[in-house]
């Protein structure tokens, strides 16, 4: 924590000399996309000023125009997008008027760009070395094969790939996500640009990897004196990593200023909602007051002031606290004993994905299974749902051993245990309308008549707070948050006792995420549901879970109540995960 605070101090000392000309000045920028219905404005009158050596973060939800702004700066807008007004001045030169050739000279050389998704931003058919060397050659940084290769290794080492010389010949698929992101950062900084635009550089990565990469990016840009324009949807992350914040909403800047000030005293209602909804910040505030019950008096007022009548995660967490006390003595809904899963991998022997995992979930409570990708948490969920065979161990659901359940009994069991998956886009059939999608489990299990099924669908839409008119609509007409509600409604259709939520909110924007989390909490209170909540994000856990199991490489390394895990983590790994929650180092002065 202290390290980051110190870092911020250093930055403040080196920044803002008011008399100086800004490195980047965006004046009244308008970006539109030509569609069949005419011009759709994605960015509408954005002003941003960024001085040399400063760091600035643009924050907003998806569709707010933050990435479009970034792409407009380097003139790489997708499809029909184009700048329809305003100026982008880089060191006095208007980039909106630059010729394609001039832009080619500016890209890479003056403005480095680190894209969002490390999986899709490297060409899969060329080696890492080829792609880095290409950037170096294009910008005339080095000539001659040996020189170029030397510089490529240097750049990658600088970006944190220690064994760069050995790995130049490897291909992107042989690198992990974190390693690929380092390659992309290396490429972005290959020509020593004055400005580096990092577009959600770590949102596709595990939290601990995210932290390491961002720390590295921060120290690297400070060392090289690179000005940083950082784009993120996570307010906590933005405030932690940048001195200045620009909050965007629907193509406009709604608030801008020094990060800490915005976080402590948000002016615009949208910013206030963002501050209230960010799980990273909410979990931090719950923690700051020690216990949830103590928080009730002081925080409830504070929160309602800030958030008005919008979603407040702290209130949600409080409501849940009472529920847990009542449920503490309930019999376990799920017992998992010594569960192991071994995958046979051709050519390289066995891989133990889940290794002797045991836990119990009391009825009506939420157990969070936390871990990074590859920790085995989703495999546990699949075995619980009987979508994956168990290698050894025992799973007991509602008093029945899953191993002995087959045929008709298994079919009935499935109706009592329903899943919600991560990707709200992939888990709904695009060719079925919402009504049919929600009614499908009822059909399969032959529940009720056509009329009662229809009534149940409408009731479910009410329960997940969606308008009944959606019944005849199709998934592509809905937003991500609405789709996830549909997925939840479908899971609830058969009135299950257990819902397995596999990263059910990870793909959603913070505000939507907060809404879904509250919905889940309300449904649990109303219907007495038992949740197995699988996530990589500890910040969300604080809000939703009663018990936490931290998984690492197939094993449970820590198992405790949520408060214990947050207040008094026993394992180094858990502490790392906690420290990786963005915004953890920010004093909110609650």
Partner 1 sequence: MAGYIVRRLLQAIPVLLGTTFLIYFMVFAMPGDPIVALFGDKTPPPQVIEQLRERYHLDQPFIVQYFIFLGNIFRGDLGTSFSGQPVSEILAATFPVTLRLALLAIFFEMVAGISVGLISGLRKGGIFDASALVVSLILISLPIFVIAFVAQYIFGIQLGWFRTTVGSGAPTQDLILPALVLATISFAQITRLTRASVIDTDTQDFVRTAASKGLPRTRIVPVHILRNSLIPVVTYLAVDFGVLMVGATVTEGIFNVPGVGRTLYQAIIRGEGPTVVSFVTVMVLIYLVVNLLVDLLYAVLDPRIRYAK
The separation between the first and the last C-alpha atoms of the chain, rounded to the nearest angstrom, is 17
How many Cα atoms are found within 13 Å in the side-chain-facing hemisphere of 115? Answer: 15
Task: Give the binding-site size for partner 1 (rule: CB under 8 A).
Answer: 39
Q: Looking only at residues 42 through 71 of this chain, which bind partner 1 when binding is defined by CB under 8 A?
A: 71
Which among 113-121, 276-284, 322-330, 439-447 is the span making contact with partner 1, rule CB under 8 A?
Answer: 113-121
- Residue with Cβ nearer partner 1 (197 or 254): 197
Other Cβ atoms less than 10 A from the Cβ of 288: the count is 13
Binding window for partner 1 (CB under 8 A); candidates: 26-34, 74-82, 231-239, 369-377: 74-82
In the set 171, 215, 264, 416, which binds partner 1 (CB under 8 A)?
A: 171
Least distance in Å: CB of 71 to partner 1?
8
Pull the structure tokens for residue 332.
């376990």
Q: Residue 68 or 271: which CB sits closer to partner 1?
A: 68
Among 82, 109, 268, 394, binds partner 1 (CB under 8 A): 109
Output the CA–CA distances (angstroms, integers) from residue 273 to 143, 181, 224, 279, 307, in the order listed. 52, 31, 36, 12, 5
Judged by beta carbon, residue 112 or residue 419, the one nearer partner 1 is 112
Nearest Cα neighbor of 59 from 255, 195, 197, 214 is 255
Residue 21's SS3 state is coil
Positive or negative, the Cα torsion across 122, 124, 128, 129? negative
Figure out which of the listed residues 7, 87, 117, 590 binds partner 1, where binding follows CB under 8 A: 117
Q: Hey, which residues between 338 and 377 contact partner 1 (CB under 8 A)?
A: 346-347
* Binding residues among 245-304 for partner 1 as defined by CB under 8 A: none
Q: Does 552 bind partner 1 (CB under 8 A)?
A: no
**Rounded least distance, CB 127 to partner 1, Å:** 8
Q: Per the structure block, which two tokens stand in for 51?
A: 């001085």
Closer to partner 1 by Cβ: residue 114 or 315: 114
β-bridge mates for residue 437, sequence order: none
- CB 458, min distance to partner 1, A: 40
Residues from 178 through 197 that contact partner 1 (CB under 8 A): 184, 187-188, 190-191
- Among the listed residues 159, 157, 165, 146, the one whose alpha carbon sits nearest the alpha carbon of residue 189: 159
For residues 306 and 556, give the distance between their C-alpha atoms in angstroms, rounded to a whole number. 38
Indicate the residue among 115 and 480 with the shorter CB distance to partner 1: 115
Answer whether 381's CB lies under 8 Å from 348's CB. Answer: no
CA distances from 393 to 17, 359, 530 (A): 65, 12, 22
Tell the smallest beta-carbon distance from residue 74 to partner 1 (Å). Answer: 6
Q: Show Cβ contacts of residue 183 under 8 Å, excluding neighbours closer than 6 positions.
A: 118, 122, 128, 131, 132, 156, 159, 161, 172, 175
Residue 123 or 444 having the CB closest to partner 1: 123
Candidate list 22, 32, 53, 115; residue touching partner 1; CB under 8 A = 115
Q: Give the phi and the psi of residue 558 in degrees, each rounded to 5.
A: -150, 140
Of residues 127 and 302, the one with the C-beta less far from partner 1: 127
Query: How many angstroms separate the CA atoms of 16 and 12, rounded?
Result: 8
Closest distance of CB 299 from partner 1, Å? 41
Spatial separation of the C-alpha atoms in residues 197 and 74, rounded to whole Å:
9
Q: Which two tokens stand for residue 299?
A: 């925080």
Among 23, 29, 74, 195, binds partner 1 (CB under 8 A): 74
Residue of 8, 66, 69, 107 that binds partner 1 (CB under 8 A): 107
Burial category of 55 from C-beta neighbours within 10 Å (exposed 0-12, middle 13-18, buried 19 and up): buried
Question: CA–CA separation, 474 vs 463, rounded Å?
Answer: 19
Q: Which is nearer to partner 1, 136 or 357 (CB)?
A: 136
Least distance between partner 1 and beta carbon 533 (Å): 31
Q: Shortest approach of partner 1 to residue 368 CB, angstroms?
A: 32
Contacts to partner 1 from residues 123-162, by CB under 8 A: 123-127, 134-135, 138-139
Task: Summarize as ranges the residues that interact with partner 1 (CB under 8 A).
Answer: 71, 74, 76, 78-79, 100-101, 104-109, 112-113, 115-117, 120-127, 134-135, 138-139, 171, 173, 184, 187-188, 190-191, 346-347
């Amino acid at each position: 924590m202290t390290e980051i605070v110190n870092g911020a101090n250093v930055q403040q000392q080196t920044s803002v000399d008011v008399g100086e000309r800004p490195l980047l000045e965006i004046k009244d920028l308008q970006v539109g996309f030509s569609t069949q219905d005419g011009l759709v404005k994605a960015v509408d009158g954005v002003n941003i000023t960024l001085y040399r050596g400063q760091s600035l973060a643009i924050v907003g939800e998806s569709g707010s125009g933050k990435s479009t702004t970034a792409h407009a700066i380097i003139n790489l807008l997708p499809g029909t997008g184009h700048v329809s007004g305003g100026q982008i001045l880089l060191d006095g030169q208007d980039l909106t008027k630059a010729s394609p050739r001039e832009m080619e000279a500016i890209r890479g050389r003056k403005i480095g760009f680190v894209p969002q998704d490390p999986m899709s931003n490297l060409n899969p058919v060329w080696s890492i070395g080829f792609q880095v060397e290409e950037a170096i050659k294009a910008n005339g940084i080095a000539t001659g094969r040996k020189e170029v290769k030397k510089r490529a290794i240097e750049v990658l080492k600088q970006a944190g790939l220690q064994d760069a010389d050995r790995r130049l010949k490897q291909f992107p698929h042989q690198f992990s996500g974190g390693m690929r992101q380092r390659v992309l950062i290396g490429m972005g900084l290959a020509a020593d640009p004055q400005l580096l635009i990092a577009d959600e550089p770590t949102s596709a990565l595990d939290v601990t990897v995210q932290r390491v990469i961002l720390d590295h990016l921060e120290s690297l840009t400070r060392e090289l004196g690179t000005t940083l324009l950082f784009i993120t949807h996570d307010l906590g992350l933005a405030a932690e990593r940048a001195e200045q914040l620009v909050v965007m909403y629907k193509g406009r800047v709604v608030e801008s200023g020094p990060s800490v000030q915005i976080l402590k005293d948000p002016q615009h209602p949208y910013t206030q909602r963002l501050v209230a909804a960010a799980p990273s910040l909410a979990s931090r505030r719950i923690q700051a007051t020690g216990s949830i019950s103590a928080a009730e008096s002081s925080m409830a007022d504070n929160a309602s002031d800030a958030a008005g009548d919008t979603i407040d995660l702290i209130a949600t967490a409080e409501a849940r606290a009472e529920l847990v006390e009542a449920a503490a003595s309930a019999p376990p809904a799920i017992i998992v004993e010594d569960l192991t899963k071994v995958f046979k991998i051709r050519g390289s022997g066995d891989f133990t994905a889940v290794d002797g995992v045991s836990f119990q979930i009391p009825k009506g409570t939420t157990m969070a299974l936390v871990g990074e990708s590859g920790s085995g948490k989703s495999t546990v969920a699949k075995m619980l749902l009987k979508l994956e065979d168990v290698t050894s161990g025992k799973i007991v659901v509602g008093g029945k051993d899953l191993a002995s359940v087959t045929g008709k009994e298994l079919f009935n069991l499935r109706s009592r245990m329903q899943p919600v998956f991560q990707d709200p886009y992939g888990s709904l059939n695009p060719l079925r309308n919402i009504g049919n999608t929600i009614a499908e489990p009822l059909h399969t299990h032959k529940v009720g008549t056509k009329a009662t099924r229809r009534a149940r669908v409408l009731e479910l839409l009410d329960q997940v707070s969606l308008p009944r008119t959606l019944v005849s609509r199709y998934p592509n007409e809905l937003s991500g948050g609405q789709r996830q509600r549909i997925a939840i409604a479908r899971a609830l259709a058969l009135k299950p006792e257990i819902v397995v939520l596999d990263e059910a909110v990870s793909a959603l924007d913070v505000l939507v995420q907060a809404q879904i989390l509250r919905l889940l909490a309300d449904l649990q209170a109303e219907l007495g549901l038992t949740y197995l909540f699988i996530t990589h994000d500890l910040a969300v856990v604080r809000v939703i879970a009663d018990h936490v199991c931290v998984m690492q490489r197939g094993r449970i390394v820590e198992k405790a109540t949520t408060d214990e895990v947050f207040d008094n983590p026993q394992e180094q790994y858990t502490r790392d995960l906690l420290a990786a929650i963005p915004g953890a180092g920010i004093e909110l002065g609650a």
